[in-house]
Structure 1
Amino acid sequence: MKTKFILISLIVAALLAGVNACKSEENPVIATCRLSNTSDQLVESTGQLTDELKRTFAYNKETLVSIAEKSKNLDATFTVTFTDSRITSATNGQDVITLTYGSATMPASSTFSRGGKVMSTFAMEYNTSGRMTKITENRQVLPTNSLTKQRVYTFSYDTNGNLTNERAQFTLNDGSATQQETEYVFDTRPSPYKRFAELPLLTVVALSQTVETRPGRFWQINTPLSLKAYNLTATGSRSNLRESSTFTPVFDTDNKLTSQDQNALLYQSSVPDPVTKKNKQTFIYQCD
């Protein structure tokens, strides 16, 4: 009789534990953090910070509703429109970005228009993991003081999905072209863009504003520790070093990148010694 009572007690305890486990799974308490602000500031020789670029991301719960970019010569806020749970456009006054998907889940092309006139078109390619491998911008109207009619960025990844190499080709009005290449070394902790859900739109917005020079940063999974940038020859081989940068990242207790100092050496063929430049970048998150 005693053995039977013990057996029944064990069965009841197991059932209660199962019920509680189900309740816990049905109502998990998980904090979700989304990138809300980034800033990139030049550190002057006096220690003063000078704004170079700020980006702001606004959300309605988990849904992105706008992307804003602000710099000395730029102040734009793109309001996002969804159709069937996919972003189809982003609008800033007379500036409109449209995304086209076809049969894919990721946008295959995009158009940037101003006042109804097409300024640039973009074509995007991805690997089987959904990471962007190429974006081509063809400019219908050249930005002020620019002779570049086409920009092509290609991205290479390692087996863990980290963007290790970024190539850029710029074709000018006269048909001549220049090429550059940037290689990255990474930390083991995540990039602030790792869980940003709308990377294709962010990439197009950034390039359409002509401020961005390395859109590959948005597709990095882990935080970079250093980069080296080179000019390339016409055959695609490396020639001279353009830039060597190291990053000193600071993470919070949840391994979110909160800030980093970038110390850069900028090389010019006509100058024997590199120019030093220091930037401070900050990242702020909105957490539920």
Structure 2
Amino acid sequence: MSDDLARAAELIHGAGALLVCAGAGMGVDSGLPDFRGDEGFWRAYPPYAGLGLSFEELADPRHFADDPDLAWGFYGHRLELYRKTVPHRGFELLREWGEKKPGGVRVFTSNVDGQFQVAGFAHVAEAHGSIHYLQCLDGCTDDIWPAGDVHVDLDETTMRARPPLPSCPRCGGLARPNILMFGDFEWVPTRSQAQLDELTAWRRRQRDLTVVELGAGQAVPTVRRYAELASAATGALVRINPREPQIRHGRGVSIAAGAVETLVKLA
């Protein structure tokens, strides 16, 4: 075992509580597409390459008003993809390690796929919301409701949704995912904020917390910043990232590899 792996194992084993901070790279080992860069996105969704549409352009709430068939084609496909995806072995390992700690385990993630809940984690703070919940596009209410009964009929040639599209149960207008998108001023944050408040209260009670960060890049640094903040007092940070593993000021352990590969070695 390398020195970095040995130090990471020591930090995890000796911790009184475990905080898992996960970005998009966490799901790659479960077979979820990597949207890093336009080429990666277009490999996952070839029809959008022909349209010249990037992930950032599609993940824009204006499409729900301007072209709802296009918007729900993209998000409807992702909803079904995430429902069918089985979390990789690394999720189970993290949950098992955390459940043995006196302080338990919590998750902070920018992912909207719901994989941690499927893997059995009881406390997940979803900073950008969840595709498995909806809100009213027109803002007739701030209610957030589960998307469990939503199934979008998709033309996979054009990646456009066929009517009927998901609707608001209150006003009958169009619904949208309860996800923080790019340039999004209409997202209803109440569900995510309640999760974050619970996580903050839990963190304040921990004195020997170790943070394990996985697959969190610098392009949207939400997860990296939170992991660094949570571990600032102790430097007990394990950063697992095959492309951007660097840690500022040496405050933690850096492992340049994928999530499941590293977690299995640590186990």
Structure of higher CA gyration radius: 1
Q: Which has the higher contact order (CA 8 A, sep 6+)?
A: 2
Measured against the shorter chain, the TM-score band is under 0.3
Identify, as 1 or 2, the structure richer in helix: 2
What TM-score, normalized by structure 2, do the two folds share? 0.27
